[in-house]
A and B are shown apart, each in its own frame.
Chain A
Amino acid sequence: MCRYLLVALWLAASTLSAVAAEDVPALLKKADGYRLDGRAARVENTVELYRGEVLDKVRKYTVYVKPGRRSLVLMKSPLEIGQKVLMLGDQFWLLMPDSQRPLRITASQKLLGEAATGDVASMTWSDDYVGQIVGEEDLRGHRCLRLELAATRPAVTYVRIDLYLDKITALPIKADLYVNSGKRAKEAWYEAGVLEGKTRIVAMTLQDDIQTGRRTVIRYHSIEPREAPDEFFNPAALVRNALAGW
C-alpha cells in the first residue's frame, strides 16, 4: 500500500514539474491559441458597455488580423459605419468616412467603454510580452498559473500584465492590465466557449478599476481564417473599398 502511495506521489510530482518546466513563451503561444492561432483571420465581434446591469451601448466591429501585428478594424454600427482603424505594430490610423483622410492616433485612444483600440485590434501576447511564472492561485474553479509579463515594445496598450492561465490547459482566465504609470488600469476576465468547432475565448469582460459600476464586454462571434492582401494594410489604402468581398 505504501509503495502504491509513493508511486502516485512520484507521478503527481512529475506532472507538476513538467508544467513548471514548460517555458513562458510556449505557455503564451498556447494561451494565444484560444484567441488567435497566429494565422491571418477575420474576426467578428461586438463591444458592449454596461452601467450596473443595464446595457448602455453596443458597437459592432469586423477585424482583419495578419501575422506581423497587423490589424484592420472596420466599424459596423450605425453611428460609426465607415470608420476604420488600422494597426501596424505600434502605430494606429483612424479613417473617418466624412473626411476620407487617415489620422494618426495612439494605442490608448478608446473605442468604447474600457475597450481600447489595442484590446480589439491585437489578440496575442506571445509576440509582445516576456515574463515568468510567479505563483499559483485558484480562480473560478481553475487552478491557475500566475504569469508576470512585461511588454517588449514601448507603445503597446499595456506595459505590464499579470496573466492567470489554467495550469493544465493554459486557458486564459484573468488578466490585470497595467498602463505606463504603473497603475492597474483594468481587470479582464476571459470566458471560453466553442467557435467553429474549437475551444476559444468567446468573451472578454473588462472591469473599470475607478468606476466600479461599469463593465465592458468584448464578444467574439466568429474567427475565420482569411488572408487579406498586404496592400490593404497600407494607411493610404483605407480610403478604398478594397475589402469588399473579403
Chain B
Amino acid sequence: MVIGKGGMLAVAMAMTSLTMMAGTGIAGEFSARLDLSPEWRADNEHSPYLVPATASSAVRSLRQDLGVRMREGGFNAQGTLRLQAAEGSVPEYRGIVNQLYHDGEFGAGIGWTVGRKVMTWGVGHGFRPLDVVQREDRRGINQPPLVGVTLLALDFLDAEEATTLVWQHPGAGQRGVAADDEALAVRGYAFADETDLHAVARLSQRYGVEAGAGFSKVVGEEWGFHGAALYQRKSGQRLNHLAEQTVTVLAIADPTVTNHRRNVFKAVAGAQWTGTTGVGVLAEAWYDGEAWTREQWRQLDALTLRQRALTGVVPTVAIESNIAWSAQAFDRPNLMRENVMLRLTHEADQRWKSALEWLATPRDGGRAVTLSMTYEGNHYRLSSGVRWLGGATHSALAQSPLQRAVWLQWGLALP
C-alpha cells in the first residue's frame, strides 16, 4: 500500500472534515461523499496495439473516494482521499486537493480569487474548445471529480456582463504538461437577446495566442442550441517519428516527438431537445485540429505491423516497448479530428436516468457506443454503464487496445 506524495493536505482536510462532521457546531457549508467505483475492462484481442503487460490493460480495478467539501465565508476547499486498486498492482492511497481557494470582493461587482479552483469556460458536451484554462477530457468513462488550476483571478460583474482575468500557474513558465503551464487568460461573458455569449483569449509559451467565441441559446421550453470555435496559434502534436520513415523499425527509447504546428482550429456545434415526458436528444459535431488525421493513423498502423513482423527475430520486450509507446496515441480525448455524437436520454419515475450515446468518427468509420443508467435514492446514487469501441476494422476506435469497459459507481452522501 502506497501513500502518494503531495496529498497530505487533502488527508488533513478529510480528517478535519470528518471531525467537524462528528461534532455539532458545523459552521459554513460542509458536505462529504463516499464513492465506490469498480471497473472492468476487456482487451481488444484483435488490436495490433495491445500489449498485455502494460498497467493500463488491468482487467479489474477499483477506485474508492472519500470526498469532502467545505465553505466558510469566501474560503472553499474540496479534497479527495482515494484508494486506487488494480489487478496485478499494489493498492495505492492518494490525497488529492481538488480545490482550495478564497473568493473575495474589492467592492461592488469586483471579485478576486486566489488558490486552486476548477474554472471551466467551455460550451458543448462531447468537446469544449473554449476550456482553455481547465482542459478536461470529456470522453473518459466514470471520471473522478476535476482537479482545479492554481490561479489568481479578477472578476468584474454587473447584472448582464462579466469579465474574468486569470493568471494561471503564476511563475511556472512552460512545464512538462500543458495543464501545468503558466498563462494569462481572459473571458468575456454577456447575456443579450436571451443568448449567452462567450469570448475567451489565452496567452502561453506552448500555444501562443488562443482566441475563441461561443454561444448557447434556449428556444421555447424544449430546444437548446450551442456553438463555439477556437483559434490556436501554436500546437504540439505527439507523433512517433518512426512512423514517418521506413528505414528504422524499432527504437531503444521513446520515439514520440512533438510535431509543432501553427494555426490550429477547433469547433463544436450542437442542438438539444428536451421533452416534457423525460426524453431528451442531443446531437453534436466537433472538429479538433490537434487530433490526428486518417493519414497519421495509417502511418502508425503500418509501423506497428512492421514491428509485429519482427516477432521471433528480435526480443519480444523490444517490440512490446515500441508498441506501448505508439499506443500512447490512444490517450488523447479525440482520436480523430472529425467527430459526431448522438445522445438519447430518458428520465423516469424521478429515480431512473438512462442514456444511450453513439460517437462516430466519419473519416475512418470508427464508433463508440455508451449505455449508462443512474438510480437516485434520497441519500445515494447508483450508476452503471458500458462502452463498446468498434466500427470499421482499420478505424482508430476499432484498433484501440480497449474493446469494452463496464463500470459501476455507488455514491453515498454522508449526513
Contact = CB atoms under 8 A, between A and B. Distances in A.
B41 interface: no
Interface secondary structure of A, over-half rule: loop
A81 B69 contact: yes
A236 B164 contact: yes
B108 A231 contact: yes
A235 B196 contact: yes
Interface in B188-239: 189, 191, 194, 196, 216-218, 220-222, 224, 226
Interface stretch (B56-64, B154-162, B307-315, B356-364): B154-162
A245 interface: yes
Contact of A155 (B189, B220, B347, B378): B220
A56 B378 contact: yes
Interface stretch (A1-9, A93-101, A165-173, A218-226): A93-101
Nearest to B160: A234
Contacts of A17: none
Interface stretch (B10-18, B42-50, B115-123): B115-123
Contacts of B145: 98
A56 B38 CA distance: 28
Interface string B97-117: 000000101001101010001
Contact of B415 (A78, A82, A108): A78
Interface in B396-415: 413-415
Interface in B54-101: 69, 71, 73-74, 76
Contacts of A100: 117-120, 134, 146
B74 A241 contact: yes
A233 interface: yes
Interface residues of A, number: 47
A215 B103 CA distance: 40
B29 A81 contact: yes
A104 B195 CA distance: 10
Interface string A73-96: 000011101100000101110000
A241 B71 contact: yes
Interface in B7-29: 28-29
Contacts of B216: 104
Interface string B127-160: 0000000100000000001100000000101111
A13 to B, nearest CB: 45
Q: Which residue, of B69, B109, B145, B274, has the highest number of chain A Cβ atoms within 10 A?
A: B109
Interface of A: 49, 56-58, 77-79, 81-82, 88, 90-92, 97-101, 104-110, 112-113, 154-155, 179-181, 185, 229-231, 233-237, 239-242, 244-245
Given A78-B379, A108-B276, 14 more contacts: A79-B376, A81-B29, A88-B191, A101-B122, A106-B221, A155-B218, A180-B221, A180-B276, A229-B108, A234-B157, A234-B158, A234-B161, A235-B196, A236-B162
Interface of B: 28-29, 31, 33, 69, 71, 73-74, 76, 103, 105, 108-109, 111, 113, 117-122, 134, 145-146, 155, 157-162, 164, 189, 191, 194, 196, 216-218, 220-222, 224, 226, 274, 276, 347, 350, 376-381, 413-415
